[in-house]
Amino acid sequence: MDAPLPAPPDSLIRPWKTATIVASMVAAIELVLLLGAALLLLAKPLSHAMQRHAEAAAAPPVAKAVKAATVKKVRRTHVPAARLPRSKVGVIVLNGNGRNGAAGAAAATLQALHYRVQATANAKRQNYASSVVMYRRGYEGEGARLARDLHVRIVGPLDGLAPSALHGGQLALVLGAD
């Protein structure tokens, strides 16, 4: 009674193989769609993180903060009032932050405030952390007023600039990164 079993008909085998191939294709398409959705969801935060990293790498290093205990208190002295009206005060604008067009934009702001812009140029270095207003001897009041007008915190006499570099003006504005 040994007899071979009859072979199943081909119609029973082929639908099973076809169904497996179709299910595998559907799963592969779903995988591709899920990966695409994940990429779209992560692209914006990832691009922002990359942009912040690039900006941090391109910006000049900022000096480390000085401990509060080592900083001496600065005594405020009386600042004389400005003698000249804004329209009679000449200002040279120097770009010290390295951004293109910063000096031109600041010059336009100064002209809107009725200051005379003598010239715009690049500063000797491009890594100023803060903006600075410098004044010629006798124009401390005008320098303080310009600093108030532009919300600049650092005001001092000409340092590193000869009075002749002001092109006949009284004040210099060096733009920093702030």
- The predicted-structure confidence for 57-77, as pLDDT tens digits, reads as follows 766 555 444 454 444 554 556
pLDDT score recorded for residue 46:
80
pLDDT score recorded for residue 18:
83
C-alpha 23/C-alpha 29 separation (Å) is 10
pLDDT score recorded for residue 10:
58
CA dihedral over 46, 51, 52, 57, signed as positive or negative? positive
**Sorting pLDDT into bands at 50, 70 and 90, what band is 14?**
low
pLDDT score recorded for residue 68:
47
Domain ranges of the chain: 9-58, 84-175
**Sorting pLDDT into bands at 50, 70 and 90, what band is 39?**
confident
- Rg for the chain, CA atoms, rounded: 35
Q: Which CATH class is domain 84-175?
A: alpha beta
Residue 138 — left, alpha, or beta (φ > 0 → left; ψ -120 to 50 → alpha)? left
Percent of the chain with pLDDT over 70: 84
In sequence order, the 6+-apart residues with CB closer than 8 A to the CB of 143 are 133, 134, 135, 155, 156, 170, 171
Query: What is the average pLDDT across 45-62?
Result: 72
